[in-house]
Amino acid sequence: MLITNSTELNQSENSQSVISINNLNHYFGEGSLRKQALFNINLQINQGEIIIMTGPSGSGKTTLLTLMGGLRSAQEGSLEILGKQIRGAKKKQLTELRRNIGYIFQAHNLMTFLTVKENVRMSLELHKKHLVGDINAKTVEILETVGLGNRVDYYPENLSGGQKQRVAIARALVSHPKIVLADEPTAALDKKSGRDVVEIMQKLAKEQGCTILLVTHDNRILDIADRIVYMEDGKLISDGIDTVAKVY
Ligand code: ADP
Ligand code: MG
């Protein structure tokens, strides 16, 4: 067990929206080049949910994910993350928000000059609250959980794609973020590694009570979701609440 109070967390925050999006629009470019990328998005995500977001390339999935992660500024509409309004938020507030979010991308983005253990430990070192206690032990524990207990001193170049992505998961989850955002985390992996990676994410998320939003094209992993949302041409076509059967 990675966290001892996850049950308590689930009970006290169970039905709360951790992400609440209302009438959100987003545009790229200026003047005559201005192009709308997101149209009137409405979406509520509750604590502990695993949401898969799918839809064709260019439909706005990454744009929406990066907005939710505070990686770009919301322009129009309302975007509340963990109870805070993000539209109009200052840089400092966005930085604070990002501390509560774990990110996993298609390319694992590991530091090639750091070992597996150092890559994961760095994530803890960025969180003041984690500097108490044995950060080495926490690092090794999560690496054991993702099945890499015997690779802690390896450099990323000596790992397989699936192993690198498992390091990225350990790095994202070691600080027990409230939200994990994953953008096509299995895209570069074979079927078995892709499956392993999402199952590890699912297991850790359930243990920690964290919310996962996972963008994917990978039909083979849809079953891990509590809910599947579908984007097309910058619009949320289904929020998955009672229309999953129609989309699939
Ligand atoms: P998806 O992740 O679903 O493939 P994206 O969110 O990456 O879609 O892109 C949605 C739309 O916004 C596309 O038309 C894309 O070309 C456009 N877009 C994305 N990022 C930028 C950017 N930085 N500048 C201009 N247009 C962008
Ligand atoms: Mg994308």
106 lines ligand 1 (CB under 6 A): no
CA 95 to chain CA centroid, Å, is 16
- Give the range of the structural domain holding residue 107, as residue numbers without chain letter: 6-14+47-69+98-247
Question: Average pLDDT, whole number, for the chain?
Answer: 87
186 lines ligand 1 (CB under 6 A): no
Q: pLDDT, tens digit, for every residue of 208-242?
A: 899 999 999 888 899 999 999 999 999 999 888 86
Q: How many structural domains is the chain composed of?
A: 1
Contact 223, 193 (CB under 8 A): no
91: in domain: no
Q: pLDDT, tens digit, for every residue of 23-53?
A: 999 999 999 999 999 999 999 999 999 999 9
Q: pLDDT, tens digit, for every residue of 60-70?
A: 999 999 999 99
41: in domain: no
42: in domain: no
143: in domain: yes
Tell me the two tokens of residue 103: 């990110």
68 lines ligand 1 (CB under 6 A): no
Distance 58 CA to ligand 1 centre (A): 6
Q: What is the pLDDT, as a whole number, of residue 231?
A: 96
63 lines ligand 1 (CB under 6 A): yes
80: in domain: no
Distance CA 206, CA 191 (A): 23
pLDDT for 82 beyond 50: yes
CATH of the domain at 205: 3.40.50.300
Instruction: Please compute the mean of the pLDDT values over residues 119-141 and round it to a whole number.
Output: 85
* Ligand 1: residue whose CA is nearest its atom 1: 58
Cα→Cα distances 231→141, 165, 187, Å: 37, 25, 18
28 lines ligand 1 (CB under 6 A): yes
Distance CA 44, CA 231 (A): 15
pLDDT for 168 beyond 90: yes
Q: Nearest bound ligand to CA 72?
A: 1
Instruction: Please compute the mean of the pLDDT values over residues 135-151 and round it to a whole number.
Output: 93
- Would the pTM of this model clear 0.85, i.e. be above it? yes
31: in domain: no
Amino acid of residue 186: T
Distance 6 CA to ligand 2 centre (A): 31
Nearest atom, ligand 1, residue 60 CA: 6
Q: What DSSP assignment string belongs to 5-33?
A: SHHHHHHHHTT-EEEEEEEEEEEESSGGG
Q: What is the pLDDT, as a whole number, of residue 130?
A: 66
85: in domain: no
1: in domain: no
Say how many C-beta atoms besides its own lie within 10 A of residue 83's C-beta: 9
Tell me the two tokens of residue 164: 């690198």
